[in-house]
Amino acid sequence: MHLEDCESPVERSCCLIELDANDGGNYDIVNDVSSPAAGDCCSRQSSARHNWEMNYQEAAIYLQTFVLFVQFIEAIVVLVRQTSHVRVTRALRCIFLVDCRYCGAVRRNLRQIFQSLPPFIDILALLLFFMVIFGILGFYLFSPNHSDPYFNTLENSLVNLFVLLTTSNFPDVMMPSYARNPWSCVFFIVYLSIELYFIMNLLLAVVFDTFNDIEKKKFKSLLLHKRTAIQHAYRLLITKQNPSGISFKHLEGLLRFYKPRMCARDRYLTFKALNQSNTPLVSLKDFYNFYEVVGLKWKAKRNREHWFDELPRTAFLIFKGINILVKSQAFQYAMYTVVAVNGIWILVETFMLQGGNFLPRDVPWSYIVFLTIYGVELLLKTTGLGPIEYLSSGWNFFDFLVTLFAFLGLLTLAFNMEPFYFIVVLRPIQLLRLFKLKKRYRNVLDTIFELFPRMASLGLTLLIFYYCFAIVGMEFFAGVVYPNCCNTSTVADSYRWLNHTVGNKTVVEEGYYYLNNFDNVLNSFVTLFELTVVNDWYIIMEGVTSETSHWSRLYFMTFYIVTMVVMTIIVAFILEAFVFRMNYMRKNQDSEEDNGIVLEKEIFKEEMVALTELYKINCATYEVAQLQKIIAQMDKYEQPSMLFLGRRSRTKSDLSIKMYEEEIQEWYEEHSRKEEYQQRQEALPSSSNNPLKPLGLRQRSQTVI
């Protein structure tokens, strides 16, 4: 286990015991000592790993060392003074988490964000430039109106125009001037048209174009890097006796090191899948497909088409009829109709319900009817297709889970288990099956499933920014807002919480915005999410500003700009993925259903016998036992050969290879020319220094099997 893996949880757990500076306790002192100590382990481990060589990670190591140095200084100061102070360096702890080996996707996201910053900063500067121009113009136009609090100073003018960019204070910011002169609305209409509808969309377009360019360059770089690696491996694996290709013996040795858990059967199948020319040697052209073939998972193809082929004739005919039924279009559309009717029924039932306890005392008859239909469908598909084939489909597995939860919901209603009533509420999830009806809906869902791993890493990246701002907010704004605060602010009503009597009635003024505070890390995360949504976010900003100073606005504006960068990258990523998939589907209209990469290979009994003898010579007992099982299975069914299917899911790299098929050939030619030029340049000084050394010779590595 790496030291950095131990350090990151310690760093992350520190934020959960943060206390306000006004509270008692010595948690800050413990935190100060434990955090640098844990970080020191990571720094020493990183130093040992990199040996302080000049590489691309040197800047990160220097940054970690600087942060650790500052943390040690702060720890010493806290131990000497025995009191805590404002320490914004807590926000830098996430650096150690990002450096963890499990956060490689987060590092790639951060690198991509920084790569997209230059065009973003250009458009952002243009946006702020127009904002300043309109701020000065608004100050001169509306400051004479003493009833207008939004433009009475240049600072208020700029702040309110910044908030107006998010439409959070519109049309409130316009109404005082609009009441005095209706033509003043032209100012706000022009401002929003330029800033919100033109520059903001231009910002997304520029980032989207930059993101596409970065993705394409990254794919090109990775593709050429793989090609170079394959060429280098090919030169090492060929021999003087067989200079035209790689033998199975040497390829098998490579696979032992590349994928140690790959069995002997799969290694031979990989050799056969690579060897498209059906010769004893794998040529360089075939070896270029190494990365695509080595990821295949091989399984023996079933000898029978259906699971019921060996049953008696009567049972065979029954199950064959069920198989034809469940695969028919009529059965599929009948079930879609049932799902649609069920959805309409749930909608009508929900519409007729009133507030209060929604848990019925008796089980509704409609629930039993629809659950019975879904149960019959599940039984028919399981018997007609077989359990393995049925559950191998993602949609069928989803139907199985929904039906299972519906049955559990029936038990909940029947036995009045109110704590488990949430299971009953999951009934509308069944309506997702209707997405299979339309191709575009299926593409949307497929894109969502493909994006989910990357979206998870992007979400973690956003949480890291949240953590940084949460720690800073806790240091400066903890305990600032409370009920009935901000009385001198224009948003005081949002924080007012009191009861007073008006006549014979008791009026309760409930202002809940005091809950949006920075008293602890969890409240800070919720508050920051509300700021991200930007609905009435200026109320939180003005409330904190009224209790601190005007400089507090910089915190909230900086957070908005940072989240705007990250969210724009996320939106650009979603758009790029969806547009890429749509373009791929248009280019490959024949592939209606994407079943991934499937490759079929046949192995004859003579090949297995020869392969077994080869492993016997090398004393590989485990591999011999595996191969003998395959031979025994061939003998059992009296088969001269056996078919194997290699499958793997289709990745974006596979789709990109098809999308950029024409450009890839140009990339290969350009890469070959660059390599030839570099080889000639490297050969010139070496030949002059060592005239006796012939060109083209190289050191060889020995392949061990």
pLDDT in tens, 572-603: 887 877 777 777 777 666 554 556 678 888 88
Structure tokens at 567: 């969210």
The pLDDT of residue 392 is above 50? yes
Average pLDDT over residues 159-183: 89
Least confident of 154-158, 179-183, 369-373, 592-596: 592-596
Single pTM value for the model = 0.72
pLDDT, residue 686, reads 52
**What CATH topology corresponds to 117-217?**
Helix Hairpins (1.10.287)
Structure tokens at 16: 């959960």
Average pLDDT over residues 249-266: 89
Q: What gap in Å lies between CA 274 and CA 268, rounded to an integer?
A: 10
Computed over every residue of the chain, the mean pLDDT equals 79
pLDDT, residue 62, reads 78
Q: Specify the residue for token string 């598909």.
A: 381
pLDDT, residue 461, reads 87
pLDDT band at 34 (very low <50, low <70, confident <90, very high): very low
Q: What gap in Å lies between CA 91 and CA 86, rounded to an integer?
A: 12
What is the 8-class DSSP label of residue 198?
I
DSSP labels for 447-501?
HHHHHHHHHHHHHHHHHHHHHHHHHHHHHHHTT---TT--TTSTTGGGG-EEEEE
Pick from 428, 533, 446, 519: which is nearest to 479 by CA?
A: 519
Pick from 413, 438, 427: which is nearest to 347 by CA?
A: 427
3-state SS, residue 348: helix
Which amino acid is located at 235 in the chain?
Answer: R
pLDDT, residue 574, reads 79
pLDDT, residue 581, reads 73
Q: Specify the residue for token string 């009935």.
A: 484
pLDDT, residue 234, reads 92
Which contacts of 107-110 are long-range, i.e. CB under 8 A and separated by 24 or more positions?
108/457, 109/457, 109/458, 109/461, 109/569, 110/461
Query: ∠279-281-284 over CA atoms, to 5°?
Result: 110
* pLDDT higher at 400 or 303: 400
Q: What gap in Å lies between CA 371 and CA 109, rounded to an integer?
A: 45
pLDDT in tens, 184-232: 999 999 999 999 999 999 988 888 888 888 888 888 999 999 999 999 9
The pLDDT of residue 458 is above 50? yes
Residue 68 CB neighbour total at 10 angstroms = 23
Q: Specify the residue for token string 């434990």.
A: 34
The pLDDT of residue 47 is above 80? no
Helix and strand numbers, DSSP H then E, in the chain: 28, 5
Average pLDDT over residues 283-302: 88
Which contacts of 133-142 are long-range, i.e. CB under 8 A and separated by 24 or more positions?
134/161, 134/187, 134/191, 134/195, 135/161, 137/187, 138/187, 141/177, 141/184, 141/187, 142/176, 142/177, 142/184
pLDDT, residue 504, reads 67
The pLDDT of residue 515 is above 50? yes
Average pLDDT over residues 159-171: 89
Least confident of 73-77, 250-254, 644-648, 683-687: 683-687
Pick from 296, 596, 329, 594: which is nearest to 445 by CA?
A: 594
Which amino acid is located at 219 in the chain?
Answer: F
* pLDDT higher at 153 or 350: 153
pLDDT, residue 187, reads 93
Q: Which CATH architecture has domain 313-436?
A: Up-down Bundle (1.20)
Which amino acid is located at 29 in the chain?
Answer: I
Least confident of 296-305, 398-407, 478-487, 515-524: 296-305
Least confident of 253-257, 438-442, 564-568, 686-690: 686-690
Backbone angles phi, psi at 660, to 5 degrees: -105, 35
Q: How many percent of the chain have pLDDT more than 70?
A: 82
Instruction: Give the CA distances from residue 170 to residues 65, 175, 202, 478, in Å, rounded to whole numbers and listed in that order.
Output: 47, 9, 22, 29
pLDDT in tens, 328-376: 889 888 988 888 888 888 888 777 776 555 555 667 788 888 888 988 9
Q: What gap in Å lies between CA 538 and CA 540, rounded to an integer?
A: 5
Structure tokens at 632: 């025994």
CB 562 within 8 A of CB 500: no
Q: Specify the residue for token string 């991509």.
A: 112
Least confident of 42-51, 63-72, 155-164, 292-301: 42-51
Residue 386 CB neighbour total at 10 angstroms = 17
Average pLDDT over residues 310-314: 81
Q: What gap in Å lies between CA 578 and CA 571, rounded to an integer?
A: 11
pLDDT, residue 507, reads 62
* pLDDT higher at 247 or 309: 247
pLDDT band at 555 (very low <50, low <70, confident <90, very high): very high
pLDDT, residue 619, reads 72
Pick from 527, 510, 515, 511: which is nearest to 481 by CA?
A: 515
* pLDDT higher at 682 or 532: 532
pLDDT band at 703 (very low <50, low <70, confident <90, very high): very low
List of residues 6+ apart from 472 with CB closer than 8 A: 88, 91, 555
pLDDT, residue 190, reads 94
Least confident of 149-153, 259-263, 509-513, 672-676: 509-513
pLDDT, residue 73, reads 84
Alpha helix ranges (H) inside 82-147: 94-98, 104-115, 117-142
Tell me the longest C-alpha to C-alpha distance in the chain. Answer: 111
Q: Strand pairing partners for 499? A: 508
pLDDT in tens, 401-420: 888 888 888 887 777 776 66
The pLDDT of residue 132 is above 90? yes
Length of the chain: 705
3-state SS record for 4-39: HHHHHHHHHHHHHHCCCCCCCCCHHHHHHHHHHHHH
3-state SS record for 119-131: HHHHHHHHHHHHH
Which amino acid is located at 675 in the chain?
Answer: E
pLDDT band at 429 (very low <50, low <70, confident <90, very high): confident
pLDDT, residue 35, reads 47
pLDDT in tens, 608-635: 888 888 888 877 788 888 888 888 888 8
**Dihedral angle sign, alpha carbons of residues 574, 580, 586, 591:** negative
**445-586 is classed CATH 1.10.287.70:** yes
pLDDT band at 506 (very low <50, low <70, confident <90, very high): low
The pLDDT of residue 89 is above 80? no
